[in-house]
Structure 1
Amino acid sequence: MAGHSVPVDFRVNPAKISNPVERKTLLQDMLPLIEPFTGSLTEISVCEVPGGNFVALYASDTMTLSVKLYSNGLVTATVEYYTDQVNEHKIANDHGRALEKQLMAKFDCSVAKVLPAIKRAPPVNPYFTSSDDRLLEYDTDGIVFEEQSEFQKVQIYSTKSFGNLLVLDDLQNLAEQDLPYTHGLMNKDKEDFAGKEILILGGGDGALLWELLKEKPKFVTMIDIDDVVMKACRKHMKSVCGTCMDNYDGENYKIIVGDAIKYMKDYIKEGKQFDYVFGDLTDVPISPTPRGQLWDFLRTILGLGIQCVRPGTGKYMTHAIGIQCSSALKMFEEQFEAQDIPVTLTRTSHYVPSFMEYWCFYQATRKAA
């Protein structure tokens, strides 16, 4: 059960909009191309709006057609209807392509595009966004877990393409098919974790811990503040976390439910250091400047994390954001440069299936004192 909105957009000579006779003819000629999908349409209103633009509204028994005509020749139309079958389209892809050709021929268009229906408020949300705010549609078919923890909204969606998908505060976090994300964070096959002491900051889905344990480290400490995430993933994302979160104290690992900042401060006081520290917490924020609560949090984690790394050989490893967010990545790299402790910084990228984009990862080697 959802509303469907089908965008039908094209461009014409601006004279077809500004001239009253041609404008009326355009609207009249457009209706027969749309009515095979909507049924007979009746004019409800046509009026001028600021900027020399016009809007028109038509209705059939079950659908509406709204049209906006811009003075520069752009025509944006929307066919809207309600349906009990969320994934069944009244204007299928092939029909949309045929309609584009009809519009091009009828109005001598420079461009015409009919998009698949946008699903409005369906029972299960299918939409998330890329790191640069492009709309992504997922083949979600249910929500297997949902709880508001003390820290965030925790959901696990079921999807056909990516398996179960962990979503935190309405942002996709990790899916069962996202092993490339975890391997990218590890810089797998380029790092030697055998016999090493490792600290994971965050990582509540358990994927990083599970993959690191396969590398035979000396000991891994994982600190995540939200036990709701860990319990949910332990039950619904077993293919990601394996059995490592069945017991929080393992032979060569320990999971701590707590504040990573507090524990890092304690480690620094004790003089305890690690061969690898993984920052698997928040993504790099998208903002005009590196200011605000999220940037402050990121800088705190970064500064403490680098202090916990062994000089000379130790590395601080973290994820960032999509490769297309060049400004945010540049600001993030500047945070490394601003640290009191110098590091050698490298960057890699890997395609993450459920993100539908290449994601950036950083490796910062702490220089010798």
Structure 2
Amino acid sequence: MIPLGHQHIVEFLNCDSKILNDKEALENLLIQAIDKSELHVEKIISHKFDPVGVTVLAVISESHIGIHSYPESKHLSLDVFTCTDPEKNFRFIEYFKEKLKPSSVRLVQIQRGDSIEINRDDWITSSSTYGFDVRYHVKENLYRKESKFQLIEIIENENFGRMLFLDRDLQISEYDAHLYNEQLVKPVESAGIAVKNAAIMGGGDGGILNSVLKLNPDYVTLIDIDEDVINLSKKYLNKICENAFEDPRVTIHIEDVIKFIDGEHKFDAIICDLTMHPGAFSGIEHKDFLNLLFTKIKNMMNENGILTLQCGGEYEKENTELIKRALTNHFVEVKFHTSFIPSFCENWVFAEARK
């Protein structure tokens, strides 16, 4: 799983002081707020200080929550940390606000994980594990919500237009979607085979699907685990996907690709545009996921079929090496190339292989 958490540090000023020194009342308030926020309590630990002050800690399925009261100052400090939809944090905070009736509330939101970022509504950071992060200005927030699988954000940027982020990783932008898609589709076009039946794994933004349809295949199958990404792309990223999802040649499967490729399917071309941590959805280590994926993809490919895939940024050398070893164990004519994608602010690695 990608390390990504949402921490809200909140200060409630001039609260109802009667409850602030009551350990049982604060425990009950905490449990009620957890329930109202659709979070899930695992354990409560509390302590009443002498002469005043109470600390209550909750271990929740989604991480943890802590409160400490200062009855003498009519003040309560709250720390909410979750690895789920941040809207639940806000519902929790609103419930506390309603019950404590403070004169004012001060709140800081911190993005936790590979990077630590104090959130501002007008910036979004796509973090990496190899020495630098990329920060994008948000001209307009178009959408931000946790799906069943990941945090989905769509913003408008002055230079790159509309941009799609999944768990804070940039996936595509209007400005250079054509450059990214071309790296995956051009090798298929140049393969010298008749592409009658193609498959796209991932690619829920519809950009690659739109490009593949221009090769005039008979059928295209798109497999993506998150239906929300597809529906939101239709709504907000229509310059990228156009009307690709409505094309009668297209069949969409909403499921984990590992489950899909267990079935009986045959394709002339397969384009793999999965996220950088696809095994997280299946609970499989990345190395094992790649070997399983490529084994099953090979079985699905027609003779002399072609596979193309994205491998991440050029500095993700360990990931590229894992992909290279796995590909060469299963395929022939394995090739890698890089292309600079302006919105990613770095060279991106792509691969192709034949059965």
Q: Which TM-score bucket, shorter chain as reference?
A: 0.5 to 0.7
Matches within 5 A, 1:34-183: 120-129=118-127, 132-177=130-175, 178-183=177-182
Report the AA paired with residue 342 of structure 2.
Answer: P
Residues 201 and 292 (structure 1 numbering): CA distance in 2 closer, same or farther, change over 3 Å? closer
Distance in structure 2 (CA, Å) of the matches to 1:147 and 1:167: 11
User: What is the number of equivalent residue pairs in this alignment?
Assistant: 234
Distance in structure 2 (CA, Å) of the matches to 1:212 and 1:328: 26
Distance in structure 2 (CA, Å) of the matches to 1:327 and 1:224: 25
Report the AA paired with residue 205 of structure 2.
Answer: D
Q: Which moved more, 1:184-193 or 1:355-364?
A: 184-193
Is 1:346 matched up with 2:344?
A: no
Residues 306 and 129 (structure 1 numbering): CA distance in 2 closer, same or farther, change over 3 Å? same
Is 1:361 matched up with 2:350?
A: yes
Q: CA deviation at 1:208?
A: 0.6
What TM-score do the two structures reach when normalised by structure 1? 0.58
% of aligned pairs identical? Answer: 25
> What residue is the counterpart of 1:298 in the other structure?
290
Q: CA deviation at 1:192?
A: 5.3
Distance in structure 2 (CA, Å) of the matches to 1:219 and 1:325: 34
> What residue is the counterpart of 1:283 in the other structure?
276
Is 1:324 matched up with 2:315?
A: yes
Deviations 1:228-284 (A, max 9, x none): 000111010011100122x3xx332211222322221112xxxx3211011111327
Check whether the contact 1:193–1:216 (CA below 8 A) recurs between aligned residues: no
What TM-score do the two structures reach when normalised by structure 2? 0.61
Matches within 5 A, 1:224-239: 224-239=224-239
Matches within 5 A, 1:191-270: 191=191, 195-245=195-245, 247=246, 250-267=247-264
Residues 214 and 333 (structure 1 numbering): CA distance in 2 closer, same or farther, change over 3 Å? same
SS at match of 2:348: strand
Report the AA paired with residue 279 of structure 1.
Answer: C
Check whether the contact 2:195–2:269 (CA below 8 A) recurs between aligned residues: no
Distance in structure 1 (CA, Å) of the matches to 2:342 and 2:192: 26
Check whether the contact 1:204–1:224 (CA below 8 A) recurs between aligned residues: yes
> What residue is the counterpart of 1:308 in the other structure?
300
Distance in structure 1 (CA, Å) of the matches to 2:173 and 2:291: 27
Check whether the contact 2:121–2:138 (CA below 8 A) recurs between aligned residues: no
Deviations 1:29-83 (A, max 9, x none): xxxxxxxxxxxxxxxxxxxxxxxxxxxxxxxxxxxxxxxxxxxxxxxxxxxxxxx
| Backbone CA RMSD of aligned residues | 2.4
Deviations 1:333-353 (A, max 9, x none): 0112333xx422011221112
- After the TM superposition, list the runs of 4 or more consecutive aligned residues in structure 1 that deviate by more than 4 angstroms: 192-195
Q: CA deviation at 1:144?
A: 0.4
Report the AA paired with residue 306 of structure 1.
Answer: K
Check whether the contact 1:318–1:361 (CA below 8 A) recurs between aligned residues: yes
Distance in structure 1 (CA, Å) of the matches to 2:256 and 2:319: 26
Q: CA deviation at 1:133?
A: 4.0
Distance in structure 1 (CA, Å) of the matches to 2:301 and 2:277: 21
Check whether the contact 2:150–2:166 (CA below 8 A) recurs between aligned residues: yes
Q: CA deviation at 1:145?
A: 1.0
Check whether the contact 1:321–1:360 (CA below 8 A) recurs between aligned residues: yes
Report the AA paired with residue 335 of structure 2.
Answer: T
Check whether the contact 2:191–2:306 (CA below 8 A) recurs between aligned residues: no
Q: CA deviation at 1:125?
A: 2.9
Distance in structure 2 (CA, Å) of the matches to 1:349 and 1:158: 27
Distance in structure 1 (CA, Å) of the matches to 2:341 and 2:271: 18
Q: Which moved more, 1:193-202 or 1:301-310?
A: 193-202
Deviations 1:63-115 (A, max 9, x none): xxxxxxxxxxxxxxxxxxxxxxxxxxxxxxxxxxxxxxxxxxxxxxxxxxxxx
Larger Rg over CA atoms: 1
Q: CA deviation at 1:225?
A: 1.4
Residue ranges of structure 1 left out of the alignment (5+ in a row): 1-118, 286-290
Q: CA deviation at 1:135?
A: 2.1
Distance in structure 2 (CA, Å) of the matches to 1:292 and 1:252: 32
Residues 131 and 279 (structure 1 numbering): CA distance in 2 closer, same or farther, change over 3 Å? farther
> What residue is the counterpart of 1:186 in the other structure?
185
Distance in structure 1 (CA, Å) of the matches to 2:340 and 2:220: 26
Question: Which protein is richer in strand relative to its size?
Answer: 2
SS at match of 2:349: strand
Check whether the contact 2:122–2:137 (CA below 8 A) recurs between aligned residues: no
